[in-house]
Amino acid sequence: MAKTNFNSLFWVVLLCCSIWDGFAQPGGSDCIKANAKSCGECIQAGPNCGWCKAQNFLQEGEPTSARCDDLAALKSKGCSPDEIENPRGTKGVLKNKEVTNRSKGTAEKLKPEDITQIQPQQLVLKLRTGEPQTFSLKFKRAEDYPIDLYYLMDLSYSMKDDLENVKSLGTALMREMEKITSDFRIGFGSFVEKTVMPYISTTPAKLRNPCTGDQNCTSPFSYKNVLNLTSEGKLFNELVGKQHISGNLDSPEGGFDAIMQVAVCGTQIGWRNVTRLLVFSTDAGFHFAGDGKLGGIVLPNDGRCHLENNMYTMSHYYDYPSIAHLVQKLSENNIQTIFAVTEEFQAVYKELKNLIPKSAVGTLSANSSNVIQLIIDAYNSLSSEVILENSKLPKGVTINYKSYCKNGVNGTGENGRKCSNISIGDEVKFEISVTANECPKKGQNETIKIKPLGFTEEVEINLQFICECQCQNEGIPNSPDCHQGNGTFECGACRCNEGRIGKECECSTDEVNSEDMDAYCRRENSTEICSNNGECVCGQCVCRKRENTNEVYSGRYCECDNFNCDRSNGLICGGNGNCKCRVCECFPNFTGSACDCSLDTSSCMASNGQICNGRGTCECGTCNCTDAKFQGPTCEMCQTCLGVCAAHKDCVQCRAFKKGEKKDTCSRDCMHFNMTLVESRDKLPQPGQPDPLSHCKEKDVDDCWFYFTYSINANNEAIVHVVETPECPTGPDIIPIVAGVVAGIVLIGLALLLIWKLLMIIHDRREFAKFEKEKMNAKWDTGENPIYKSAVTTVVNPKYEGK
């Protein structure tokens, strides 16, 4: 029972340790987050991860996983570059035959297998996780490259008039293809429909002659290989001339069955490893996977050849193939398909073309009279484009393409797989990168192939995965360094045998007593296990990791760290030292608890070459002035002191110009410096001389400016240079001033008179306009005066009768 409890406690401790180790910081190094226990695990964590195999690399308390880190971090921690395991991926070319350069009609006859259009042909890539290996692939369309063309024709009744034109196709197509290649072969096959209801009528009479009236038709069939690929055009005409139309009941035809057999029956058809063209001619749609259920056929198409006596014999047994199945088989057999269909079904077959790589659609006239030109145009279209495809990639392997095509056209991503508008003799290049994102479980080699669609040539790439370090091959089994041979010592660390744990495999999983072991993980007079900064495993402290990978706990009891030292300017040890076990170890020329005190005195050096101008001491790179009245970086400033210029102004004035306050005592008070007169200010000494120099500008008793310099030479002698002629201000010119004042008064008076006159004119005009307006608006009363009596009296004679 006790033993069971001990084991349980051990696994709890081990689990806790694993959890702590798993606290790999989200924003930290991928190498640290990997928590690698071996060199192999480390190098799989990322391309920049390295493993330090130096035996004394780890500090006390650090886990084995601390050996895995970024290369720069390992070097900064003191691991010699020779002790860092950092295997790199490589690439090697095994077969690199140059692409063929030949011209039609002038070059010697070559076998198809001797013509090379892609280079290189075979490589080996050694892949390290996360590190891409890149190589260049060259493709060049060879001139006069052989072509095999198989004409697959729908022989349902609606194609009756088309058959007549196809009967002479052989020789005519031969003549046209001779312009492209001197090695051309042609074959012929036909199809109708599955020979079961409801696709055809199964009555005996209809099976013999499915056509109506007096039409003579052949019995229905699924697919028939009429003529294997041949270079004899006349034989093509002869055999096709013997073919007869057949018939079926529904409109879609069984062309997919025929395409599948043409693709997979390479031996019977006679395909060579050259350019393979399949011309599919029809005026109807197609059946595909699932349609066979109408005839009771439920078994999926098996994608195998079932030709007997040149007839497809399993149409009644297997369903139609799916489009994806056809794409797979056409690609595997490097067959490029040309769909020659009537206008009515153009839209349907164009959609099909988008699903089948390296295929083309041409519009077939009602009687197939344009089939030769259609084939030529489609072939030119197909051959002008190269599209790279790769075989299935192993788990965790990715591949990227970049194309360098004609006229400076480059492509990436999916467009990086192809180049268009390629003419015969054109050369294009591709840059291909292969990356392994993880190692295979068993570490075995893998092979992938890359080829241009529609071409038989391919590049074979052998992938070898770097999943282990070289130092692991040098491991010492049962090494005495691993506690009396309880583990394998490899890459600077012990890999314990089963049932053993500990940094040196010193503990057995069956004997671990956690209470006894915890005592070894406590400091004296302390109850804290591993200073609360780690876990006790097998009697040894394994310090936990911090979120910041640069912060590390260390020490026997995890009592030390490199991030709790004094700081200055927000930096540990002021950025001028290393923090070791919470104490700063300062770089040379620095001291102090935070290494913030510089011993360099260059910042205290004054311009006169003295430390702090001789007025203080240099402490931590800063002057500490001993005289309180002096201030500044080098104790050069004195706010209460007279300046050099003011202090010597009177003496310079009396000696140079015989005037000033000290002219009477000049010979007694002002003979402490040597004086030299110069003609102009340009002749004065300029800054840059060895002796400290002051330039001065002062006023004399006559308000004139005089200029001088004051300096002290190496012999501590005062030297004064004075400009011999002071600059005195000139007196004012009275006449221009008086004239200007008088003229100004006169002009101002005239201006005021003009302004007054202008204002009066404006006022008079406004008053006159106001009067005129009132005059126009006046209304006079025309009524009579009631007290007015006229002076004239009129009397009428009453007897007057107007005679």
Asked whether 430 and 415 are in contact (CB, 8 A), the reply is: no
Q: How far apart are CA 321 and CA 268, in angstroms?
A: 20
Q: Please measure the distance between the N-terminal and C-terminal CA atoms of the chain and give it in whole angstroms.
A: 178
Phi-psi region of 538 (alpha: psi -120 to 50; beta: other; left: phi over 0): left
8-state DSSP, 293: G
CB atoms near residue 801 (< 10 Å): 6
Would you say 397 and 462 are in contact if contact means Cβ atoms under 8 Å apart? no
DSSP 247: -
Q: Is the peptide bond before 120 cis (omega within 30 degrees of 0)?
A: yes
| Phi then psi dihedrals of residue 286, to 5 deg | -145, 150
What φ, ψ does residue 454 adopt, rounded to 5°?
A: 85, 0
Parallel/antiparallel/unpaired status of strands 418-419 and 122-128: unpaired
Spatial CA neighbour of 453 closest among 388, 373, 539:
388
Name the residue type at position 612: C
The angle subtended at Cα 534 by Cα 532 and Cα 535, nearest 5°, is 110
535 beta partners: 542
Please list the alpha-helical segments (H only) found in 636-793: 644-657, 666-669, 734-776
Q: What is the dihedral sign for C-alpha 233, 239, 244, 247?
A: negative
Please state the φ and ψ torsions of residue 447, each to the nearest 5 degrees. Answer: -130, 130
Listed residue (698, 712, 696, 685) closest to 659, CA to CA: 698
The DSSP 8-state label assigned to residue 394 in this structure reads P
pLDDT tens by residue, 617-676: 888 888 888 877 777 777 766 655 667 788 788 888 898 888 888 888 888 888 888 888
Pairing of strands 418-419, 459-466: unpaired
Is residue 384 within 8 Å of residue 406, measured between CB atoms?
A: no
The secondary structure of 144-155, three-state, reads CCCEEEEEEEEC
Phi–psi pair at 31, nearest 5 degrees: -65, -45
Per the rule left: phi > 0, alpha: psi between -120 and 50, beta: everything else, 52 is: beta
Please state, in angstroms and rounded to a whole number, the distance separating the CA atoms of residues 254 and 345: 15
Residue written as token pair 């005129």: 772
**525-575 pLDDT, tens per residue?**
777 888 888 888 777 788 887 877 778 888 888 888 888 899 888 888 988
Sheet holding 68-70, edge to edge: 68-70, 49-52, 84-85
Burial class (CB in 10 A: 0-12, 13-18, 19+), 149: buried
**Residue numbers in the chain where pLDDT is lower than 50:** 1-28
Q: With CA atoms as reference, report the closest residue to 677 among 711, 728, 725, 710.
A: 725
Domains of the chain by start residue, with CATH: 111-143+388-466 (2.60.40.1510), 147-384 (3.40.50.410), 567-598 (2.10.25.10), 600-640 (2.10.25.10), 644-723 (4.10.1240.30)
Exposed/middle/buried for 792, CB within 10 Å: 0-12, 13-18, 19+?
A: exposed
Q: Which residue in 698, 694, 714 sits closest to 706, CA to CA?
A: 698
3-state secondary structure 209-241: CCCCCCCCCCCCCCEEEEEEEECCHHHHHHHHH
> Tokens standing for 541?
């402290």
Q: Which amino acid is at 136?
A: S
Task: Say what the pLDDT of residue 535 is.
Answer: 80
Q: Order of strands across the sheet with 397-404?
A: 118-119, 133-140, 427-436, 397-404, 410-412
234 vs 220: CA distance, rounded Å:
26
pLDDT given for residue 134 in this prediction:
95
Find the helix or strand (DSSP H, E) in which 621 lies.
Answer: none
**Cα dihedral across residues 321, 323, 329, 333: positive or negative:** positive
Instruction: Give CA–CA dist 358/173, Å, rounded.
Output: 21
Alpha-carbon span 607 to 19, nearest angstrom: 62
